[in-house]
């Protein structure tokens, strides 16, 4: 019976409302008080049934909930034969609860949309080479799958054959199709707009990026902030206090109606619903815009930050170094270029790719006796010649003498923010290249937006040389910039800032910066949803789009502000109602309950504004 009643609460609300309407309609048209009276009695009984059950369940776990107060108030109204107020109070209370649940469901629409995007089937390659449609749960890592135009990518994988354009809005928030070809990564839940591709499954089920996004956003929406925990504690003690106050009023005044009215007016309904609505709506907005906020506690801390620390490579810069400047010395430059390319193919250093891309096709050479100079470069024998490739320290180690003009070039290249790649053959400098990463487009504007949002300190920490770091810092207008820093140096620096009392957010790529992401009060990962980024950080910008960072900060501030507004509205309404009850003649139980439900509707609508939040440029 209990389950049946609670499962059919919406039908009970409807019956309750119809009976109240019939009673008042008959009374106004015919003056029949018997029908009026019994309609309200039956409406009250129907309406109070689910409330009594919820009160009983709360008392079983030793919690004096709002349902307990309303139950006592309705029973008291029956005792003094005020059936009109008993019926209206039950209807308004149940209808308010209905509105709360409906609104919470609506604010969770971002999760519902994500869940609906989850793929259900896949075309899996059989041993015969044919493809068969199977449930996505039947796909294992290593399986080869076929994805056709218009189909959802079923797993995280790598393209084996074919090409096409994929809509990655479910992962990144961007609807612009991304071109995919052999070797490209694809993600579950994205849609192949055109083309046909075969992929090998790298991650399946809950291990996919899409699965983790859904899991983490759901966890975030269920988490509680400090404000919510405070309200839980407040309600735990506030509700019994109201009950004791009502009893004392009755003992001293012997006015049972006044005591019952205090119970009704003291219900903190708007206070209990206001903060969760803001929290869920804010996280839902972030999910729709490719920003993963992992919990309301993160929102609270992020909204108060005053210092933002950035990694350079892959965060402030594109993360794809290119040769920006070069200079040749002496003759036989073509031969020197061939030797340089031969050695760089032996290296896995990030600058090697930039150099090889700049050189292009070269003649094959024989590289022998390769010696890697840690933190410097490579020395090897190429076609019988001793060749040294690396920075100035390698040149000094090999006793390579730099002419006055070469030293001037080195100084100029470093001043322009380049990392240096020098090439010497048999003791003579032949090539000087300056490699630098490109600053992200429009990032200066985004940094200015962060300043306008209240971030006082913008600091860059990088493993690159100080000259390069200073150039980037000047161009972007940062507060401070430190180069030549190892991952442990970065985390120590952040720890120092926190000890000084600053609220620090660290923004990195989520790979080598995971210690810093973990130590900072707020870790923000630029990682296109990589495993390390999602696991380590508090906030993930799913498509590594830096412009989402100001939106995330603005949203966090708007959400925190919205929570405070809802708390003030809820407490203000209760105080006004109680004061009106004590110092006016017009306040009664029905009017008070109507105002109460109105305040719940106000905090709901105020919280839902966050679903439409967009940071103005």
What own/partner pairs with CB < 8 Å and gap ≥ 24 does 331-339 have? Answer: 332/430, 333/430, 333/431, 335/425, 336/423, 336/425, 336/430, 336/431, 337/362, 337/431, 338/362, 338/363, 338/365, 339/365, 339/382, 339/383, 339/385, 339/387, 339/423, 339/425
In-domain check, residue 215: no
Using DSSP's 3-state secondary structure scheme, residue 188 falls into coil
Distance of alpha carbon 587 from alpha carbon 591, whole angstroms: 6
CATH of the domain at 177: 2.70.150.10
Model pLDDT for residues 185-233, shown as the tens digit of each residue: 888 888 888 889 999 998 888 777 667 666 655 554 455 556 556 666 6
User: What gap in Å lies between CA 9 and CA 3, rounded to an integer?
Assistant: 10
Same domain, 458 and 397: no
Residues 124 and 192 in one domain: yes
* Residues 128 and 194 placed together within one structural domain of the fold: yes
Do 173 and 288 form a contact (C-beta atoms < 8 A)?
Answer: yes
Average pLDDT over residues 259-280: 74
pLDDT tens-digit series, residues 455-480: 999 999 987 778 778 888 988 999 99
- 237 and 195 within one domain: no
Q: Please state the domain count of the chain.
A: 4
The verdict on 328 and 421 lying in the same domain is yes
pLDDT of 225 reads 53
Backbone phi, psi, residue 245, to 5°? -60, -45
What pLDDT digit, counting tens, does each position of 282-309 carry? 888 887 787 888 777 788 889 999 999 9
Shared domain for 286 and 365, answered yes or no, is no
| pLDDT recorded at residue 146 | 93
**Contact call for residues 77 and 85 (beta carbons, < 8 A):** yes
The CATH number of residue 348's host domain is 3.40.1110.10
Structure tokens at 66: 């709002």
Same domain, 33 and 93: yes
The answer as to whether 217 is a domain residue is no
> Residue 115 falls within a domain, yes or no?
no
Report the alpha-carbon distance of residue 496 to residue 494 in Å, rounded. 5
Q: Residue 169: pLDDT band by 50, 70, 90 thresholds?
A: low
- Co-location of 360 and 430 in the same domain: yes
- pLDDT for the residue numbered 173: 46
Q: Which residue in 286, 225, 209, 164 sits closest to 530, CA to CA?
A: 209
Q: Is residue 344 located within the same domain as residue 431?
A: yes
The domain that contains 464 carries what CATH number?
3.40.50.1000
pLDDT at 528 over 70: no
pLDDT of residue 529: 44
Q: Which of 67, 156, 311, 446 is catalytic?
A: 311
Instruction: Please list, in sequence order, all residues whose beta carbon lies within 8 angstroms of the beta carbon of residue 118, skipping any fewer than 6 positions away.
Output: 188, 189, 210, 211, 214
Q: How many CB atoms lie within 10 A of CB 224?
A: 16
CA quadruple 322, 328, 333, 336: dihedral sign: negative
Look up the domain containing 483 and give its range. 278-318+440-558
Least Cα distance to 419 among 475, 376, 468 occurs for: 468
Average pLDDT over residues 143-148: 92
DSSP helix/strand/coil, 308: strand
**Active site annotation includes 464:** no
- Tell me, yes or no, whether 606 and 506 share the same domain: no
Residue 393 confidence (pLDDT) above 50: yes
Within-domain flag for 214: no
Last residue of a domain, one of 558, 581, 598: 558
Letter string b/e over residues 331-355, b meaning 16 or more CB atoms within 10 A of that residue's CB: eeeebbbbbbbbbbeebeeebbbbb
More confident residue, 491 or 389: 389
Per the model's pLDDT, the better-predicted residue between 454 and 103 turns out to be 454
Residue at which a domain ends, from 436, 468, 496:
436
CA angle 354, 355, 360 (to 5 degrees): 105
| pLDDT tens profile 436-460 | 878 888 899 999 999 999 999 999 9
How far, rounded to the nearest angstrom, does the alpha carbon of residue 183 sit from its chain's CA centroid?
A: 29
Same domain, 125 and 100: no
49 vs 593: which has the higher pLDDT = 49
User: For the segment 33-78, what is each residue's pLDDT rounded down to a tens digit?
Assistant: 888 888 888 888 888 888 888 878 877 877 666 677 677 777 777 7
Tokens of 164: 């096409």
Query: For the chain, how far is it from start to end, CA to CA, in angstroms?
Result: 56
Smallest CA-to-CA distance from 439 within 310, 615, 306, 617 is with 310
Q: Is there a domain that residue 216 lies in?
A: no
State the Cα–Cα distance between residues 42 and 53, nearest whole angstrom.
17
Residues 306 and 346 occupy one common structural domain: no
What is the overall mean pLDDT for the chain? 81
For residues 604 and 153, the model is more confident at 153
- Residues 538-570 have pLDDT tens digits of 888 876 788 889 999 999 999 999 988 988 888
Q: Is residue 60 part of a domain?
A: yes
**Contact yes or no for 172/290 (Cβ under 8 A):** yes
Q: What is the pLDDT of residue 328?
A: 92
* Helix residue ranges, H only, 223-308: 226-253, 256-265, 269-288, 296-303
Q: Cα(598)–Cα(591) distance, rounded to whole angstroms?
A: 10
Tell me which long-range contacts 115-122 makes (C-beta under 8 A, separation of at least 24). 115/214, 117/152, 117/170, 117/189, 117/210, 118/188, 118/189, 118/210, 118/211, 118/214, 119/152, 119/153, 119/154, 119/155, 119/188, 119/189, 121/154, 122/154, 122/155
pLDDT tens sequence across 359-370? 888 888 888 888
Last residue of a domain, one of 558, 578, 599: 558
Angle of CA points 227, 229, 232, to nearest 5°: 110
Using one digit for the tens of pLDDT, what is the confidence trace for 295-347?
777 888 899 999 999 988 778 887 778 888 999 998 878 888 998 998 888 77
For residues 240 and 68, give the distance between their C-alpha atoms in angstroms, rounded to a whole number. 9
In a domain, 70, yes or no: yes
Task: Identify whether 472 is part of a domain.
Answer: yes
What's the pLDDT at 257? 75
């Amino acid at each position: 019976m209990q389950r049946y009643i609670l499962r059919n609460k919406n039908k009970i609300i409807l019956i309750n409302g119809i009976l109240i309407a019939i009673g008042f309609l008959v009374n106004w048209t015919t003056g029949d008080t018997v029908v009026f009276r019994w309609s309200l009695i039956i409406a009250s009984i129907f309406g109070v049934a689910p409330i009594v059950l919820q009160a009983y369940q709360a008392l079983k776990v030793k919690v004096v909930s709002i349902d307990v107060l309303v139950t006592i108030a309705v029973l008291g109204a029956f005792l003094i034969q005020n059936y009109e107020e008993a019926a209206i109070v039950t209807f308004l209370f149940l209808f308010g609860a209905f509105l709360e649940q409906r609104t919470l469901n609506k604010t969770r629409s971002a999760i519902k949309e994500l869940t609906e995007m989850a793929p259900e089937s896949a075309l899996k390659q059989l041993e015969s080479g044919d493809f068969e449609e199977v449930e996505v749960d039947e796909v294992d890592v290593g399986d080869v799958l076929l994805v056709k135009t218009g189909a959802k990518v079923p797993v995280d994988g790598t393209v084996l054959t074919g090409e096409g354009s994929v809509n990655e809005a479910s992962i990144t928030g961007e609807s612009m199709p991304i071109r995919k070809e052999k070797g490209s990564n694809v993600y579950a839940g994205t849609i192949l707009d055109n083309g046909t591709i075969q992929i090998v499954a790298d991650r399946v089920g809950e291990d996919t990026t899409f699965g983790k996004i859904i899991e983490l956003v759901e966890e975030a929406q269920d988490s509680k902030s400090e404000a919510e925990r405070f309200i839980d504690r407040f309600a735990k003690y506030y509700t019994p206090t109201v009950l004791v106050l009502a009893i004392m009023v009755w003992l001293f005044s012997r006015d049972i109606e006044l005591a019952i009215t205090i119970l009704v007016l003291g219900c903190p309904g708007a206070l209990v619903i206001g903060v969760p609505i803001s929290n869920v709506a804010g996280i839902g907005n972030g999910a729709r815009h490719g920003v993963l906020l992992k919990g309301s506690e993160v929102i609270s801390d992020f909204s108060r930050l005053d210092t933002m620390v950035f990694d350079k490579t892959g965060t402030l810069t594109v993360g794809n170094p290119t040769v920006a400047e070069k200079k040749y010395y002496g003759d036989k430059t073509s031969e020197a270029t061939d030797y340089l390319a031969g050695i760089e193919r032996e290296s896995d250093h990030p600058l090697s790719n930039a150099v090889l891309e700049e050189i292009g096709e070269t003649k094959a050479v024989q590289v022998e006796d390769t010696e890697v100079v840690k933190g410097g470069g490579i020395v090897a024998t190429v076609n019988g010649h001793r060749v040294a490739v690396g920075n100035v320290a390698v040149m000094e180690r090999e006793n390579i003498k730099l002419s006055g003009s070469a030293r001037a070039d080195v100084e100029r290249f470093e001043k322009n923010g380049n990392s240096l790649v020098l090439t010497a053959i048999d003791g003579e400098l032949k090539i000087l290249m300056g490699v630098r990463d490109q600053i992200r487009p429009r990032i200066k504007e985004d940094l200015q937006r962060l300043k306008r949002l209240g971030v006082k300190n913008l600091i860059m920490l990088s493993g690159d040389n100080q000259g390069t770091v200073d150039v980037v810092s000047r161009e972007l207008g940062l507060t401070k910039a430190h180069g030549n820093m190892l991952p442990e140096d970065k985390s120590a620096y952040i720890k120092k800032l926190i000890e000084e009392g600053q609220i620090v957010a660290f923004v990195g790529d989520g790979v080598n910066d995971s210690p810093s992401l973990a130590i900072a009060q707020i870790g923000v990962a630029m990682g296109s949803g990589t495993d390390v980024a999602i696991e380590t950080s508090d906030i993930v910008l799913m498509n590594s789009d830096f412009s989402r960072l100001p939106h995330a900060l603005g949203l966090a501030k708007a959400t925190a502000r919205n929570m405070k507004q809802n708390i003030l509205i809820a407490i203000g309404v209760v105080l006004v109602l109680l004061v009106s009850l004590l110092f006016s003649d017009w306040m009664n139980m029905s009017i008070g309950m109507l105002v109460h439900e109105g305040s719940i509707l106000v905090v709901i609508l105020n919280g839902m504004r966050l679903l439409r939040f967009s940071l103005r440029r």
